[in-house]
Copies of this chain bind each other. A is one copy, B any other.
């Protein structure tokens, strides 16, 4: 089912405060908060050991969280430290506490063996904090399996069709005079899978053309990097003699249940950092709209369809090489568990 000994992205850092939030990860409800006194990040099972009320309906007081139902208080390590009107507390009154860490704007939790949790293994994304870039971060929810949602990014050829109206190009469409030349290669490293796809002579969609002020076709180079479980970092370079712009877009998928997922997203640009078009809010509006109205509805429909048709075998195309390499790596990881 779900991998246990792995870091899962569970929130944006901007979501976390001393008001607790509840989130389901791999079918487990967890509560996330920052303690009010020491400012520490905490992730606990989202239940009070007394009567199983969600702690996310409770209140952070000092470095602890008080259940909103009968006032029991849990410390950051999951031990109950106070029951109203009692001198002592049962040693059974404890819940799981999960390792948790924030890195470059995302919050990650480890649900497996805590002794194996090394924050250094959290995928680093240095471009998110680089001085000469500007980033936006978003969170989405999808009623689709996290792998299906990740597969959307593992075959970027979807951009030319699903996003034809915005930043796609219809490159490769049947019947169009196809002057585009595609090169694609995929390779595997111990902890990651990589792909590089170059399209030459691409006529850009209106949105992408406006970003770089392009009037002529460009060479579009997409470099992709997959790390487990489903962190996909994409560097996209578009260039011709007019301009060269560089985009990083990052997509992190976390299972909520078998058929729903959390989708964390970042978009980083190296162009127009001085306040013209596009600024951060333009990027947020364009990207969130595209993901909400094009990507997620398509993948959710695909999820429903797979269930309706009893999960038929896919027929891969040449563009699926990267996706296939990633699926193979995941199957190996399942074997290694």
Contacts and interface: CB of A to CB of B under 8 A. Distances in A.
Interface in A278-337: 297-298, 301-302, 305-306, 308-309, 312, 314-319
A interface, over-half SS:
loop
A151 interface: yes
B70 A317 contact: yes
Contact of A24 (B86, B297, B308, B319): B308
A182 interface: yes
Interface string A59-85: 001101011111111000000111111
A57 interface: yes
Given A92-B315, A305-B52, A309-B47, A174 B69 contact: no
Nearest to A316: B50
Nearest to A57: B301
B306 A71 contact: no
A173 B319 contact: no
A66 B315 contact: no
Interface in A149-179: 151, 155, 157-158, 160-162, 170-175, 178
B52 A317 contact: no
A27 interface: yes
A301 B71 contact: no
Contacts of A46: 305
A241 interface: no
A29 interface: yes
Contacts of A62: 175
Contacts of A84: 157, 160-161, 171-174, 317, 319
Given A29-B308, A61-B175, A173-B84, A70 B157 contact: yes
Contacts of A137: none
A317 B157 contact: no
A243 interface: no
A16 interface: no
Contact of A314 (B52, B64, B155, B158): B52
Given A84-B160, A317-B86, A305 B47 contact: yes
Q: Most chain-B CB neighbours within 10 Å: which of A47, A62, A72?
A: A47
Contact of A51 (B27, B51, B151): B151
Given A84-B157, A302-B53, A173 B71 contact: yes
A221 to B, nearest CB: 16
Contacts of A14: none
A160 B71 contact: yes
A66 B157 contact: no
B27 A308 contact: yes
A228 interface: no
A161 B72 CA distance: 10
Nearest to A46: B305
Interface of A: 24, 27-29, 45-47, 49-54, 57, 61-62, 64, 66-73, 80-86, 90, 92-93, 151, 155, 157-158, 160-162, 170-175, 178, 180, 182, 297-298, 301-302, 305-306, 308-309, 312, 314-319
